Amino acid sequence: MSLSFRLVGLPQTKPVEEKYDIIIVGGGPAGLSAALYAARYQLKSIVITKVLGGLVNEAPLVDDYLGIPEVTGSELIEKFVNHVKKYNVPIIIDEVVDVKRKDDLWCIETRSSRSSICGYAVILAVGSKKRKLDVPGEDRLIGRGVSYCATCDGPLFKDRIVAVVGGGNSALSSALYLASLASKIYLIHRRDQFRAFKMYVEKASKNPKIEFVLNSVVSEIIGEEKVEAIKVKNRVSDEEKTLKVDGVFVEIGSEPPREFFEKIGVETDEQGYAKINPDQSTNLPGIYVAGDAAGGPYKYRFEQIITAAGEGAKAADAAFKYILKLQSRGRG
């Protein structure tokens, strides 16, 4: 039985096998941290991820990860990957589409291969996906001026006028990054106060290229072949105006993979996040969730790289103890 995957990163010293102690789904901070701790516990593990680095890869600037100041998201992820690869953990690029129980094992199915990889425990660090505005013109103009990644598409808008929609850290850091490229940035936020770190807000307020448009929402994105303008409605006065822009960068948060969790049988909360216990375990024995996709009453929602990495470490430790229990019962 052959396994067809695309391996990435540094040269692999171990071939992909069909059975592991821990399968880690997701290659962002939570998944890579889980892989590191699993390797240090000398557990045979593998990382399978659709996108290496997750949303962190798109961050133009990370200045809140202890000991590594002022680094791009992609540079930080490269450091994480190199650390994990030091322990010879295979990292493969593929999308996990299902997880099924088989005796004491959990077996995953991926989009590119009909063969299964099985393990005693699975850590789901699948993150979340960018939330859309859901306004007229958005879907039609994706890739033609509508973007969800400033670092990916920002260079295409050099000396042009763009809008950034959102009020959190991602929106403010994207606006600051785009200010080094674009001629003007409208920063549009539905409230009168930003949720971002004060440092980001202060820097943005002092940047002559950035104009705050507060208490406002984008009601339509206008353009035929590409973005030409946006309609913005003030939530207080109901006044609507049209701003001429060449691009729109949407940074209004993210949403969890509710359908994926429901397919597997992982219990979710009202928002669709996986319900976790304090040790990141779920209602399914041997299944753990770490990072942005985790939720429930025991989840302290503070979506930072360092907290995601911490949850990955906790999940690996809990999975290690779970596997020890299986072994003590003569199973596994």
Annotated active-site residue in 21, 94, 153, 292? 153
- The pTM score is 0.78
Give the whole-angstrom CA distance, residue 292 versus residue 129: 10
| Domains contained in the chain, CATH given | 6-129+254-328 (3.50.50.60), 139-250 (3.50.50.60)
Annotated active-site residue in 118, 149, 246, 292? 149
Residue with tokens 């105006």: 241
Q: What is the pLDDT of residue 229?
A: 98
Q: What is the pLDDT of residue 1?
A: 36
Answer whether 24's CB lies under 8 Å from 34's CB: yes
Q: What is the pLDDT of residue 153?
A: 87
On the question of pLDDT at 97 being above 80, the answer is: yes
Given the DSSP bridges, would you call strands 229-234 and 240-244 parallel, antiparallel or unpaired? antiparallel
Whether 152 is a known active-site residue: answer yes
Whether 107 is a known active-site residue: answer no
> What are 71-85's pLDDT values in tens digits?
888 999 999 999 999
> What are 59-69's pLDDT values in tens digits?
777 888 999 99
Annotated active-site residue in 63, 64, 152, 192? 152
> What are 144-185's pLDDT values in tens digits?
999 998 888 899 999 999 999 999 998 999 999 999 999 999
Give the whole-angstrom CA distance, residue 52 versus residue 267: 26
